[in-house]
Amino acid sequence: MQMRRNRKWMGLAAVLAVLAMLAGACGSDEEAVDDGLFRIAVVAPSASNDLAFTQSIVDAVHVLDGVDVIDITDGTFIVADAAAAVRGYAEDGYDLVIAHGSQYGGSLQEIAKDFPDTAFAWGTSSDTFGLDNVSAYTAASDQGGYVMGAMAAVMTSSGVVGVIGPIAVGDAKLYVDGFVNGAAAQDPSVTVNVNYIESFSDVALAAEAAEAHIANGADILTGTAQMVVGATGVAAENGAKWFGTQSNQTALGEDMVVASQVYKWEKALQGIVNGVKNGDLGGSAHSINLENGGIVIEFNDGVDAGDARAIGEGLIADIKARMVDTGA
């Protein structure tokens, strides 16, 4: 059975551990955790239930086979806080420490060098820094973006679609590029306006960007990262439709969210876990996509997408068959 804890709640456990060390002067820190349990720690920038980036990794680690203990430190948008949490987990002897955020790369590169016998993973990226104990993972989010961009082009009545992006890196940029390309391929006459707000977490800025898109005539919106709750609120207030990504976002508006691209990170993480158990600490990059089942498009039956859904389902099949170039 998996045990899940949140690092923020572990103060008493830490005190008890110190007392145990003082009472039994024999035993090293490493021996204290050498009980045969496989431990994973996740450090992520936003809330575990954000219906976006962090929830996607939290959901994934809880369906992995062969994992006994799962600890989550969420809400570490400040990179220094995340780095401290990653280092702390490594010092505590966790088998796999996951730094879930593109912004954590520089810190992880330095920390991983200090713990060559600990396995680390991070994303979204394909860069392992040439280190044998670092795995990288990324999502071909342009694929789902392409599908939903084509659907949006069919569904828009105004001929204008708005995209709210965070920072143009990683899976966020791939998604936006794929969405724009899918819409253009389906109907070149549709205008897709893109606004990167230069933040993953600023809900107010996301709302302002969404309001600007609505003012410019957009009747369909999309966006990526944890800040999208600001944008979805604006969409709901103005009767606009929404396409989600990273997690299923139907809960944000059952009559608004047409479809969501959902990350199944477990398709990449299970191989990493199996490798660590067999002595392979990393050194490879992993990708999830429509073909390997790491990305799925989940449609909301509460929204009548008309012909757009059939078009989307056809594109999913074509992308899986490698018949479509998303251009991202």
- DSSP string of 227-243, one letter each residue: THHHHHHHHHHTT-EEE
Q: Are the beta carbons of 126 and 285 closer than 8 angstroms? A: yes
> What pTM, to 2 d.p., does this model score?
0.88
Q: Calculate what percentage of the chain has a pLDDT beyond 90.
A: 88
Same fold, 3-138+264-288 and 141-263+293-320: yes
Closest CA to 32 of 54, 56, 53, 13: 13
Residues 141-263+293-320: name the CATH superfamily.
Response regulator (3.40.50.2300)
Parallel, antiparallel, or unpaired: how do β-strands 241-246 and 96-100 relate? unpaired
Q: Tell me which residue has tokens 């299970």.
A: 270
Q: How confident is the model at residue 7 (pLDDT cuts 50, 70, 90)?
A: low
Sign, CA dihedral 205-209-215-221, equals negative
Q: What are the structural domain ranges in the chain?
A: 3-138+264-288, 141-263+293-320
Parallel, antiparallel, or unpaired: how do β-strands 220-223 and 160-165 relate? parallel
Q: How confident is the model at residue 25 (pLDDT cuts 50, 70, 90)?
A: very low
Q: How confident is the model at residue 35 (pLDDT cuts 50, 70, 90)?
A: confident
Question: What letter would DSSP give residue 313?
Answer: H
Closest CA to 281 of 138, 148, 96: 96
Q: Tell me which residue has tokens 């050194």.
A: 283
Class of domain 3-138+264-288: alpha beta
Rounded CA gap, 72 and 74, in Å? 6
Rounded CA gap, 96 and 60, in Å? 14
Rounded CA gap, 182 and 152, in Å? 9
Closest CA to 231 of 246, 216, 214: 214
pLDDT in tens, 244-269: 999 999 999 999 999 999 999 999 99
Give backbone dihedrals phi and psi of 69, rounded to 5 degrees, phi first.
-130, 130
Q: Calculate what percentage of the chain has a pLDDT beyond 70.
A: 90
